[in-house]
């Protein structure tokens, strides 16, 4: 597999799940949000979602508990490298402190920054990102830097 055909899938884990796919250059390819309805439905969907991305090299998941474990365990079984984070970690690197003092402000800030990244990447944007998809975009950007696919965050330098 060539380096140019590697992808990173970022997940804002929850029953309402945000997803964002990045290529090896740190460019956003697509984003979406899914309401899984229940943890049972989510468990069934995770394998299909992960397996649908050809050349998936990394899975980056924000969250903890059983929902996050489903994502991490499935990726591990498929031989995909994983990173786990939480909002307190990636927000400190991507948002000014005043932009994440509470959950509402943080979600709105994530949407604003994600819209800029969507525009910069020219990723298809049929709908504005929900806060779940926006956070997945930022989680993916954070992940791309952590695995050294990018040197610095676009828009933040």
- The answer to whether residue 114 is domain-embedded is yes
Element holding 17 (H helix, E strand): strand 16-23
- Confidence (pTM): 0.89
Overall number of domains in the chain: 1
Which tokens hold the place of 27?
A: 């460019």
- The answer to whether residue 15 is domain-embedded is yes
pLDDT digits (tens, 9 = 90+) for 20-66: 999 999 999 999 999 999 989 998 999 999 999 999 999 999 988 99
Q: What is the CATH number of the domain that holds 47?
A: 3.30.420.10
- The answer to whether residue 14 is domain-embedded is yes
- The answer to whether residue 152 is domain-embedded is no
Q: For tokens 């920054």, what's the residue?
A: 113
pLDDT digits (tens, 9 = 90+) for 77-119: 999 999 999 988 887 887 666 555 556 677 777 888 888 889 8
- The answer to whether residue 54 is domain-embedded is yes
Q: Which domain holds residue 74?
A: 3-146
- The answer to whether residue 157 is domain-embedded is no
Alpha-carbon torsion (55, 157, 89, 44), positive or negative: negative
Separation CA 97–CA 81 (nearest Å): 30
Based on its alpha-carbon atoms, the radius of gyration of the chain, rounded to whole angstroms, reads 14
- The answer to whether residue 94 is domain-embedded is yes
- The answer to whether residue 117 is domain-embedded is yes
């Amino acid at each position: 597999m060539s380096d140019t055909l590697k992808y990173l899938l970022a997940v804002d884990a929850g029953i309402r799940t945000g997803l964002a796919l990045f290529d090896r250059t740190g460019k956003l390819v697509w984003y979406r949000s899914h309401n899984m309805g229940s943890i049972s439905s989510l468990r069934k969907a995770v394998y299909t979602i992960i397996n649908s991305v050809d050349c998936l090299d990394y899975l980056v998941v924000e969250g903890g508990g059983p929902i996050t474990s489903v994502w991490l365990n499935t990726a591990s079984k498929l031989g995909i490298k994983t990173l786990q984070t939480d909002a307190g970690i990636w927000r400190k690197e991507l948002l000014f402190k005043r932009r994440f003092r509470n959950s509402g402000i943080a979600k709105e800030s994530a949407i604003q920054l994600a819209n800029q990244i969507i525009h910069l990447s020219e990723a298809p944007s049929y709908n504005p990102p929900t806060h779940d998809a926006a956070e997945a975009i930022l989680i993916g950007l954070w992940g791309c830097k952590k695995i050294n696919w990018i040197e610095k965050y676009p828009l933040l330098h």
